[in-house]
Chains A and B, each alone.
Chain A
């Protein structure tokens, strides 16, 4: 019996020692990275949710380019998969609040950055980096505004996606003699005509409700125009404005034309309906182009075409992925080196063709992009840029969560008054 106690005590001792030693190794890790501050042999940890087909390729190409330029700095790809970034954001929130920030992390430009991490005083300004690299006139002004707060710039945009695009099945449009609609009236005329021919006009997959929120924000943009759209989110126009009510009504009318099983589909599933000709149109951010072209093997401008959401011609709903510098990172210089590569023409042209987005810089090489990319780069230069609500740029994530809930209820109930009331109640949190 005594022997047994002795053994168990010994085992307990071993466990305690193991716990201590792992502690101390943690400390020495921190010391190591502390030593490397300013020196050349550091490590950069890049945190993102890019794990899907095209986006991961883009990220890896970017990392390859960086390692080529700075062979002395190791890169750790800390991507978290799943939930369109939700899982990653949950992990990020835990790390940031535990004062264990990654070297740099993916965040949408706009309020997702400003209202959360900047407001929580967790980000370093990057004004010097912008000046050093003469970036101030390489990115559009409205884009720099989106990643700035109180005159300080907080992140480097790497790519641009457009949210106010409708993709359509060209064969279906041709067979039914439908012209591309540019106004809401034309849209509804076309929708009626399609419905008479037995084709569902608009595809929706709102198992996650942001897809419906995306339609609503585009209607808002179409009704209000870019200036008043921005004023709405700046709080200068109320959510009870009659034009917002009108937008809600148009949004409701559009929902009369969607596929019946929308609640069981995600956006890819709804895209399939357009691909096989059951449904004519899909409003989706232009990552859908990559889905149509690469995953479903459709030909751009032959099988499927694209046009600006009715009434939003001349505006560009931007969704931009950006990377910033969190406070408390040890090897600041290494991270800045990475951000420099990320913001360079070379870096953006390595990443974007693979991801299927366009570069955030206006001086990138259009020849590296497909026809859709070239068209969009042209639009990007010549359009008004407005931030997307559904993707966290126009308002805080708190408001977005509540707006998504209101939209989810509205899609079923179609109660405009309730909807407007819910948005207005949430407005102080924008």
Chain B
């Protein structure tokens, strides 16, 4: 079998192939240099002593990484990223799927709802950030309305850490302020997961549900036992896409809250930008970039591995 395939492919390296290769080479070279070359360069800088405007490429070992992991701000960044990612992905999945199931009930004006929920996705995170910065500003925005009920959340200026305990030099727990950022991010990205789940739901043949109902399954059981399992691949894709957005997030935070008091809303992306371009700590900045790359890789690599296996 394998031999046959090989023979076939050998035969097929013809003109067709060479043209395809010729057209791929320019973009291949560009990506090799401008993506992988620069990743390599960033890695090289991250283990150098290049921490001022004077280039110094002497080998520093893991000094910059050790510095970061001992740094209050970076520890806070990792904590914030963790909780932001969990809340963000969880809510995007739950709300997105919920809305998709509601819209899928063949209601009238379905297209209108679909579009309304999808629109925020057309905005840039900067716009979302600026708008939500005003909406969740504790002295204006929602609080004007909430004061009727006598509640005044401090939103992104809240410096409390829920269920916090000392860990390293930071207090580990859920930073209340990050919830405000999660709200903005979920508002923007839910439309995307809604669209994906809606496509997924449409892909499930009605016969399957009918069959389940015939077997006496309640409506809840139909969703629990038939629909949800069939939506698993969609959920996987949503998780991957949302995870790489949330792990790399910069623009939303930068426009909406900045680092926040006591770094409660700081993320590695913002730290990287500030330490590199304000403090001229190029090697530290490069180290942050590499750590972010590894974090994303933790999600992406198993996924790619899995889908490759699936194809085979």
Contacts and interface: CB of A to CB of B under 8 A. Distances in A.
Interface size class, chain B: 20 to 34
Given A116-B52, A119-B54, A261-B139, A207 B281 contact: no
B53 A116 contact: yes
Contact of A261 (B53, B157, B260, B277): B157
Contacts of A398: 51-52, 279-281
A176 interface: no
Nearest to A209: B259
Interface in A75-100: 86, 89-90, 93, 96-97
A317 to B, nearest CB: 20
A400 interface: yes
B157 A263 contact: yes
A397 interface: yes
B72 interface: yes
Nearest to A401: B279
A33 interface: no
Given A93-B53, A119-B52, A261-B138, A408 B280 contact: no
A154 B157 CA distance: 42
A209 B262 CA distance: 10
A207 B130 CA distance: 13
B170 to A, nearest CB: 10
A263 B73 contact: no
A412 B52 contact: no
A413 interface: yes
Contacts of A384: none
Contacts of A90: 277
B23 A8 contact: yes
A409 interface: yes
B258 interface: yes
Nearest to A87: B277
Identify which of A90, A207, A260, A396 gathers the most chain B CB atoms within 10 Å of its CB. A207
B235 to A, nearest CB: 35
B53 A409 contact: no
A330 interface: no
Given A86-B278, A89-B277, A263-B261, A5 B52 contact: no
Tell me if B's interface is mostly helix, strand, loop or mixed.
Answer: loop
Tell me if A's interface is mostly helix, strand, loop or mixed.
Answer: helix
B42 interface: no
A264 B155 CA distance: 10
A115 B155 CA distance: 39
B279 A397 contact: yes
Nearest to B136: A264
Contacts of A207: 257-258
Given A208-B258, A412-B261, A264 B137 contact: yes
B274 interface: yes
Interface string A8-38: 1000100000000000000000000000000
A374 B258 CA distance: 37
Contacts of B281: 398, 401
Contacts of A411: 261-262
Nearest to B260: A263
A90 B23 CA distance: 36
A286 interface: no
B261 A408 contact: yes
A89 B278 contact: yes
A412 B258 contact: no
A321 interface: no
Nearest to A5: B19
B192 interface: no
Contacts of B23: 8, 12
Given A119-B54, A209-B259, A264 B139 contact: yes
B53 A119 contact: yes
Nearest to B277: A90
A96 B278 CA distance: 15
Contact of A117 (B19, B53, B155, B159): B53
A116 B157 contact: no
Contact of B54 (A5, A120, A206, A263): A120
Given A93-B277, A264-B139, A401-B279, A408 B51 contact: no
Contact of B278 (A120, A261, A263, A401): A401
Interface in A238-276: 260-264
A402 interface: yes
A340 interface: no
Contacts of B51: 398
A230 interface: no
A224 B262 CA distance: 27
A402 B275 CA distance: 9
Interface string A200-211: 000000111100
B125 interface: no
B84 interface: no
A300 interface: no
B250 interface: no
Interface in A358-412: 396-398, 400-402, 405, 408-409, 411-412
Contacts of A117: 53
A119 B159 CA distance: 39
A86 B276 CA distance: 11
Nearest to A422: B72
Interface string B8-19: 000000000001
B53 A120 contact: yes
Interface of A: 5, 8, 12, 86, 89-90, 93, 96-97, 115-117, 119-120, 122, 206-209, 260-264, 396-398, 400-402, 405, 408-409, 411-413
Given A264-B138, A411-B262, 13 more contacts: A86-B278, A93-B277, A115-B52, A116-B53, A122-B53, A261-B138, A262-B261, A263-B260, A397-B279, A398-B52, A398-B281, A400-B278, A405-B263
The 8 nearest A-B residue pairs measured at CB: A401-B279, A412-B262, A90-B277, A263-B261, A263-B157, A116-B53, A120-B53, A261-B139
18 contacts: A86-B278, A89-B278, A90-B277, A93-B280, A97-B53, A97-B55, A119-B52, A119-B54, A260-B138, A261-B138, A261-B139, A261-B154, A263-B156, A264-B133, A264-B138, A396-B52, A398-B280, A401-B274
Interface of B: 19, 23, 26, 51-55, 72-73, 133, 137-139, 154-157, 159, 257-263, 274-275, 277-281
